[in-house]
Amino acid sequence: MELAMQDQAKTNKTIVRGYIEEIWNRGLIERFGSFFATEYQEAAYSPANSEGHCAMVAVQKRIMPDAVWSIERMTAEDDSVICELTLRGTHQAAFKGVEPAGNSIHVRAYRTFVLKDGKIVHHSALLDTAELLKQMRGQQAA
* CATH code, 67: 3.10.450.50
Average pLDDT over residues 35-64: 92
Count of other CB atoms within 10 angstroms of residue 115: 26
In a domain, 110, yes or no: yes
Let me know if 7 is exposed, middle or buried by CB neighbors in 10 A (0-12, 13-18, 19+): exposed
In a domain, 141, yes or no: no
Residues in the chain: 142
Q: Are strands 119-127 and 104-116 parallel, antiparallel or unpaired?
A: antiparallel
In a domain, 63, yes or no: yes
Average pLDDT over residues 73-92: 97
In a domain, 10, yes or no: yes
Question: Residue 81's closest CA among 27, 9, 5?
Answer: 9
Model pLDDT for residues 60-77, shown as the tens digit of each residue: 999 999 999 999 999 999
In a domain, 121, yes or no: yes
Which residue segment(s) compose the domain that 130 sits in?
2-136
In a domain, 125, yes or no: yes
What is the number of domains present in the chain?
1
Model pLDDT for residues 117-128, shown as the tens digit of each residue: 999 999 999 999
For residues 86, 59, 112 and 49, what is the CA-based torsion angle, rounded to 10 degrees? Answer: -170
In a domain, 111, yes or no: yes
pLDDT(54) > 70:
yes
In a domain, 142, yes or no: no
